[in-house]
């Protein structure tokens, strides 16, 4: 039986490992994005009010994950937003996604770190024998 979608962090020196797990590759990507955002702020404090469209294309699933996460980092930095909900559709090498969030309010969100980007360190996108998809990498904070 496949586990439900979830995210987690894993230890990696001074940086943070983010891991998304889900019954589909797209859901694992969504969960990895939540894990990354959760390194910055408590997701329960971020309202999913405004949607931002993100599109990426890459024939390699692992590089596609870093492209997705780095696009979110870019949107957080340039729009001064935090996100708490993600939706991903993957068709071949095409990723179409939405990130929902709101502008950062420092007093309410209390951002802990700034994510600089997703790295190739411990990068993995694969389906485990139980059917669960794993999407993970280390993010530079």
**Average pLDDT score over residue span 31-59:** 97
pLDDT, tens digit, 9 for 90 and up, residues 3-29: 689 998 887 777 899 999 999 999 999
Given a cut of 60, is residue 1 above it in pLDDT?
Answer: no
Beta-carbon contacts of residue 106 (< 8 Å; ≥ 6 apart): none
CA atoms within a 13 Å half-sphere pointing along the CA-CB vector of 7: 24
- Angstrom distances, CA of residue 39 to CA of 9, 91, 111, 128: 8, 28, 9, 25
Predicted local distance difference test score (pLDDT) of residue 3: 67
pTM of the predicted structure, to 2 decimals: 0.93
- What span, in angstroms and rounded, lies between the C-alpha atoms of 132 and 31? 12
pLDDT, tens digit, 9 for 90 and up, residues 85-132: 999 999 999 999 999 999 999 999 999 999 999 999 999 999 999 999
| pLDDT tier for residue 2 given thresholds of 50, 70 and 90 | low
Given a cut of 90, is residue 37 above it in pLDDT?
Answer: yes
Domains of the chain, CATH where assigned: 6-140 (3.55.10.10)
């Amino acid at each position: 039986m496949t586990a439900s979608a979830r995210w987690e962090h894993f230890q990696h020196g001074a940086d943070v490992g983010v891991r998304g797990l889900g019954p589909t590759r797209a859901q694992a990507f969504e969960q990895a994005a939540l894990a990354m955002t959760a390194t910055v702020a408590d997701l329960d404090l971020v309202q999913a009010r405004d949607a931002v469209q993100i599109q990426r294309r890459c024939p390699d699933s692992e590089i596609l994950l870093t492209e997705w996460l780095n696009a979110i980092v870019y949107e957080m930095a340039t729009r001064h937003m935090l996100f708490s909900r993600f939706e991903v559709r993957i068709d071949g090498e095409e990723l179409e996604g939405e990130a929902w969030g709101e502008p950062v309010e420092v007093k309410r969100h209390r951002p802990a770190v700034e994510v600089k980007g997703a790295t190739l360190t411990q990068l993995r996108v694969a389906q485990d024998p139980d059917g669960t998809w794993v999407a993970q990498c280390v993010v530079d904070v």
